[in-house]
Structure 1
């Protein structure tokens, strides 16, 4: 996306994340929603539970800042944050319930994630980022190589490297990552994990928008049902064949593999028990 003046001015006026950062109550909105939704990785809260949590937050702030600091009720603030001119929360009725529920909007999570990057970090790793970039370039280069001989030559080179490493380990030469290397890589891992959680919410938001558009077309359709079904299924195939659809399908297949799930759990347990990683006080969400 080009960040020219016109684009940025449009975003400033219309994007919910920018509206949040410009809001007079941005510290309240961001800190409260981060604490109740993002930190515990909560997807949905009922109106009663969320209003009660916000009322407690407002009470504490009024004790410090005075009663006039936040004069409205918690429910009024929640409805205001979910209104179309704000768009920071989604208010809806869950199936089988007559009580309103609230969920965080993707733009809100993006704004809060950006605010988190402003805090100073005692340790900023760079090696793991360079290695990740290098590995991605290798995957793209090797994955697009159409010459069988070149692919075989690369596989043989990697096999020789593995054989040489096995020989070194058998001879007693066992290279280990030092504490700095472990911290560097774990910091990169947690950054990518947080971004992935944010992506989950945005993909879910996109699916909801697609579902809403399909329902609207069904409600307004005046032709034959067969033609409507054919058109909707054609769009479904187009979505599945799109870049986002293919990427999500590959991600889903990977996630649903029981072998991969077990491997992920084992790796997480082992890494989170390492002393250098414990020093970083990892986010409790990482284990889940």
Structure 2
């Protein structure tokens, strides 16, 4: 036997009251939660760094407690701001995300919906106005027109609309237009605000549906044991068409054709600014004017939120598919299950205040010496001795010195006999062959720098002689050097 009407209605209401939206509004600390979330998260600030959110919630708590709102019947939650925000995450009002290099909080669709409900209830009551009824009638008429399959009927409606537009144009050409009174314009503005308040929750629901689909795809992928090629084809296609994978995403894709054009958003913003300059807006309070001005920004941020969720889901799914390894994934799952099982066993046999010794380092496996090649089963031995023969080259101390560094003692003695000043290039060219090596040129430059030198300009070119008889030419800025004696006199 099926459910009665009363039972079916009760079950629907029971399910509705179990959602985080109504749970937030009917909680003991609901006024504080709504107030804190509405202060921390605004139209221009849809995400807040976690550390900043904790600090701001703590400040709100301190201000309300100082004002005496927590005296007598407790109306403010206990605990630190960090604990309060973590509780909001658990019950589905906040969601932590990684945004660039920072971890941030964002409102869930349930929290956005709850804030909208309280905003509408606390603000001016929505009236059954001409504007709202006309919006409903136009929506029904548009739905009926789109559902009509008879071309003749649709054509008759279009001709009727064209005749009405032609008649309105004719009246305007004759100067017979009648200005609309401010009261009617105010009604239409309130209807626009009413429609705009629904958008943030709608955008957030689309983004959350895409994130939920991403989690489902990744979970399904980890459980998938089909051949890798088949898995790659299916899941890569889902990652590329992530917007079409949910009903909310498909609906948003249709709306994006209207609001996704940056030029259309700019036109919307310009129209709103023009409206705010009209005389009828004086009848609106400051909050209504601020809300009307923020509609364009609210739409832009909502579109950006959904597109960001789409890009992130595509990137995550594609990355998971490319690194898909069923065997490794099963090994990781088994390891995590073993860890959780061991943790549960430990918690049953220990008290809540039992100390836990941290694992400061992983144990090292002592495997001894591993063979570097499997082709030779013999154990590694000592290297063969170096061969010796009469033909082997024998280096003497003179050879070693010839290829060594600069001969500073000989160079300083040579420089001492060149007079008070000398050109370093000419001095190098006039030295003995065994003192004209490339390293000796470096040695002369060091001595000149130590004793005092100047650079008059020009370029000196010298030819160095290596111990093996080969030569090499060097060019450098001309240097006039002084002897050590003259430098000491200075």
Q: TM-score range by the shorter chain?
A: 0.7 to 0.9
Q: Does 1:47 align with 2:57?
A: no
1:21 is displaced (CA, Å) by 2.0
Distance in 2 separating the partners of 1:244 and 1:197: 14
1:128 is displaced (CA, Å) by 0.8
Q: TM-score, normalised by structure 1?
A: 0.87
Distance in 1 separating the partners of 2:21 and 2:33: 11
**Greater alpha carbon shift after TM alignment, 110-119 vs 205-214:** 110-119
Instruction: Check 1:102–1:120 CA distance in 2 against 1; reply closer, same or farther (3 A cut).
Output: closer
Distance in 2 separating the partners of 1:101 and 1:144: 44
Cα displacement string for residues 127-152 of structure 1 (whole angstroms, at most 9, x for unaligned residues): 11110011112111222222222222
Q: Does 1:73 align with 2:67?
A: no
Distance in 2 separating the partners of 1:5 and 1:123: 27
Question: Could you tell me which residue of structure 2 aligns to residue 162 of structure 1?
Answer: 165
SS in 2 for 1:118: helix
**Greater alpha carbon shift after TM alignment, 139-148 vs 168-177:** 139-148
1:125 is displaced (CA, Å) by 5.2
Correspondences of 1:116-195 after superposition (within 5 Å): 116-119=119-122, 121=124, 124=127, 126-195=129-198
Q: When the two structures are aligned, how many residues end up with a matched partner?
A: 281
Q: Does 1:87 align with 2:87?
A: no
SS in 2 for 1:45: strand
The answer to whether the Cα contact below 8 Å between 1:125 and 1:185 also exists between their aligned partners in 2 is no
Q: Does 1:255 align with 2:252?
A: no
**Greater alpha carbon shift after TM alignment, 59-68 vs 193-202:** 59-68
SS in 2 for 1:4: helix
State which structure, 1 or 2, has the greater radius of gyration over its C-alpha atoms: 2
RMSD over aligned Cα, in angstroms? 2.6
Instruction: Check 1:217–1:63 CA distance in 2 against 1; reply closer, same or farther (3 A cut).
Output: same
Q: Which runs of 5+ in 1 are unaligned?
A: none
Between 1 and 2, higher relative CO (CA 8 Å, sep ≥ 6) is seen in 1
Which structure has the highest helix share of the two? Answer: 1
The answer to whether the Cα contact below 8 Å between 1:125 and 1:183 also exists between their aligned partners in 2 is no
**Greater alpha carbon shift after TM alignment, 215-224 vs 168-177:** 215-224
Correspondences of 1:2-81 after superposition (within 5 Å): 4-12=9-17, 14-37=18-41, 39-65=42-68, 70-81=77-88
Distance in 1 separating the partners of 2:239 and 2:228: 15
Distance in 1 separating the partners of 2:273 and 2:173: 27
The answer to whether the Cα contact below 8 Å between 2:265 and 2:296 also exists between their aligned partners in 1 is no
The answer to whether the Cα contact below 8 Å between 2:47 and 2:104 also exists between their aligned partners in 1 is yes
Correspondences of 1:207-222 after superposition (within 5 Å): 207-222=210-225
Q: Which runs of 5+ in 2 are unaligned?
A: 1-6, 298-490
Cα displacement string for residues 25-54 of structure 1 (whole angstroms, at most 9, x for unaligned residues): 1111111101221x4442211111111111
Q: Does 1:285 align with 2:289?
A: no
Q: TM-score, normalised by structure 2?
A: 0.53
